[in-house]
Amino acid sequence: MRLKIIGGSSHKDFTKKICADLGIEETKSQSFTFSNRNRFFTIDEAVRGDDVFVVQTQTQSVDVDVMELLIMIRTLRDSSADRITAVMPYFPYSRSDKKDQPRVCITARLIADLLQTAGANRALVMEMHSQQIQGFFSIPCDQLLAAPDVIQYLKTNWNLENYVVVAGDAGAAKMIKKYADGLNLPVAMMDKRRIGNDEKVVIKGVMGDVKGKKVLIIDDETLSGRTLIEDARFLLETAGAISIDSCFIHANLGEGAAERLNASPIQKFITTDTIPSSHFNLRNLEVVPVSHRFAEMIKRIHNNESVKSLNDIT
């Protein structure tokens, strides 16, 4: 099978970087909308019998991005591609991963079902909001972790003396273990409760010692920025931290989030390029590229090689 890469409209630079790392040209295609908002997609090269990876992330037009991805996959299936892999640097609707209140949809499961129905043979994502999402797929689903790249970046570019890594909540506690071990730093965790659907939380305290320390808050994503800002204020004003920086893997920022974060006491922000930074404007922003890790994963999947070591911390 020949290896082919096709990128959606959501993050063209990410697709270009993957192709550059693999040393191949992106498969030519066209995608646009008619005046009635209907999406049209066509592939301008033969893909019969090929191993095709479709790259599409989530932007603020999430439903448009999802629909385009489904149309692309179906077009490839109808064009007789041999294997189709949905490559999603950020998995859409990842927060809707459980039925935590009556009469709600587990939308992450719905997205997994739709990908398979459209014709995807497997999926590749980075840093899911929760591990259970992998179990929503009836097709193989590989998850890449951002930790190896972020840890290497911090070791190379930051002075980590007197830092402590803080988990934004209990859900992030397991996630930051890799960072604490890789950076050889102590750990603390915010104790808070989320009430209702308005993205507000109540902070009960912090478990661990942050007094007189520089804090790096680590989480998989941030949406409104409000919780992150409340964490920062509590750590500074109540817990005795001397400075706050923040690392979130996916910059899934909603309307007004960048403005709130820019006005907050958080000094530096670090994220990855799973979502294009052109969609927001954060001060003191440092972006860790992860496209090369996707390229290596794609190469190994194509060659039927082991992928386990790609998530190892070196």
DSSP-derived secondary structure for 45-95 = S--TT-EEEEE----S-HHHHHHHHHHHHHHHHHTT-SEEEEEESS-TTTT
pLDDT given at position 248:
93
Q: Provide, rounded to the nearest whole percent, the portion of the chain with pLDDT above 70.
A: 97
pLDDT, tens digit, 9 for 90 and up, residues 126-161:
998 888 888 899 999 999 999 999 999 999 999 999
pLDDT given at position 197:
57
Q: Which domains are assigned to the chain?
A: 3-145+291-311 (3.40.50.2020), 147-288 (3.40.50.2020)
> Which amino acid is it at 109?
R
Does residue 17 register a pLDDT over 90?
Answer: yes
Does residue 201 register a pLDDT over 80?
Answer: no
DSSP track, 224-293: SSHHHHHHHHHHHHTS--SEEEEEEEE----TTHHHHHHTSS---EEEESSS-GGG---TTEEEE--HHH
pLDDT given at position 223:
87
Binning pLDDT at 50, 70 and 90, where does residue 97 land? confident
Does residue 195 register a pLDDT over 70?
Answer: no
**What's the rounded mean pLDDT across residues 18-41?**
95
pLDDT given at position 275:
94
pLDDT given at position 153:
97
pLDDT given at position 155:
96
pLDDT, tens digit, 9 for 90 and up, residues 250-268:
999 988 999 999 999 999 9
Per the model's pLDDT, the better-predicted residue between 177 and 110 turns out to be: 110
pLDDT, tens digit, 9 for 90 and up, residues 44-77:
999 999 999 999 999 888 999 999 999 999 999 9
Beta bridge partner(s), residue 90: none
Does residue 236 register a pLDDT over 90?
Answer: yes
> Which amino acid is it at 87?
V
pLDDT given at position 152:
96
Does residue 35 register a pLDDT over 80?
Answer: yes
- CA atoms within 13 A of residue 159's CA, in its CB half-sphere: 2
pLDDT given at position 60:
82
* DSSP percent split of the chain into helix, strand, coil, nearest 5: 35, 25, 40
> Which amino acid is it at 48?
R
C-alpha dihedral (29, 35, 38, 42), degrees to nearest 10: -20
Does residue 199 register a pLDDT over 70?
Answer: no
Does residue 198 register a pLDDT over 60?
Answer: no
Provide the annotated active-site residues. Answer: 192
**What's the rounded mean pLDDT across residues 167-189?**
87
Binning pLDDT at 50, 70 and 90, where does residue 196 land? low
